[in-house]
Amino acid sequence: MNIFLPKNFESQKPIKIYDYQDMMITLFSPHINPHNFSINQLQEMEVIPSHWQLSKPVLNKSQSLQFCFKSGIIIIINVGNISVIGKISNNAFNLTKIVNNFVKKFYQYNWQRIQINLRRLISLPGDKTNGKKFINETLLQSKKWDILGIKPVKAQVTLMYSFPDFPLMINIKDVKVKDNNQKIKSALLFKGIFNYNLTSKYNHKIKYLYSIINNNSQNIEIFNQIIEENFLSE
């Protein structure tokens, strides 16, 4: 992967780039009430494996439940939606299977919409302001964002694409991360949201829903291709 670095970029050697990616799949239904769910219920219905254990206590709020498992999967149940989250390299199969199980076991929920949310965090070597420089000088390519000689403290870009089957939103912003030595590094955080409306698929909604869930690798491929070919390459 070639990263088009900002002007006057001074790299540190050896260059090491951290690249982290995760995915969240969210199902929407007006029938979801978080307090109708429990760990025991999800295990008894075989939505999640019976041997899964929590990595931390259940986070129980008035409008949501959060389950964090030692497998690396997180399930968040809010009023009106259910999200399953996992790191792509380790949990893509488990994540897809859990979402399929929710659709199968709660078929009566009349699913309205599904979102596939992708995040990718890429660290930049060198100066800790290089993320901001990348957005200002490479993506925006303008100094008109400076006001009275003051440069923006942070920068982010949001883009919307209207593909035939789904709208895609991509957000890019500069963030700060700490390396193993607790040294602050500059990074770029890319977020992609694929949104699918199911209400128009009256007769084959469930079939269409399963196809979206089981083909999420295509979303990952599209998202990464846009990042690497449109944003990070010269």
Q: Which residue has the higher pLDDT, 200 or 144?
A: 200
Strand partners, 175: 187
Judged against a pLDDT cut of 80, whether residue 73 lies above it is answered with yes
Compute, in degrees rounded to 10, the torsion defined by CA atoms 67, 192, 181, 136.
Answer: -150
Q: Kindly provide the b/e burial profile for residues 100-131, where b requires at least 16 CB atoms within 10 angstroms of the residue's own CB.
A: bbbbeebeebebbbbbbbbbbbbbbbbbebbb
Lowest mean pLDDT among 55-64, 180-189, 207-216: 180-189
Judged against a pLDDT cut of 80, whether residue 16 lies above it is answered with no
Mean pLDDT of the chain: 84
Band the pLDDT of 234: cuts 50, 70, 90: low
Judged against a pLDDT cut of 60, whether residue 5 lies above it is answered with no
Q: Which residue has the higher pLDDT, 203 or 119?
A: 119
Compute, in degrees rounded to 10, the torsion defined by CA atoms 217, 223, 224, 230.
Answer: 150
Q: Is the CB of residue 130 less than 8 Å from the CB of residue 188?
A: no
pTM: 0.84
Using one digit for the tens of pLDDT, what is the confidence trace for 129-175?
A: 788 777 777 777 766 666 666 666 666 788 888 877 788 899 998 88
User: Distance between CA atoms of 78 and 71, rounded to whole angstroms?
Assistant: 21
Using one digit for the tens of pLDDT, what is the confidence trace for 47-71?
A: 999 999 999 999 999 899 999 999 9
**Proportion of the chain in helix, strand, coil states, percent, rounded to 5:** 30, 35, 40
pLDDT for res 37: 95
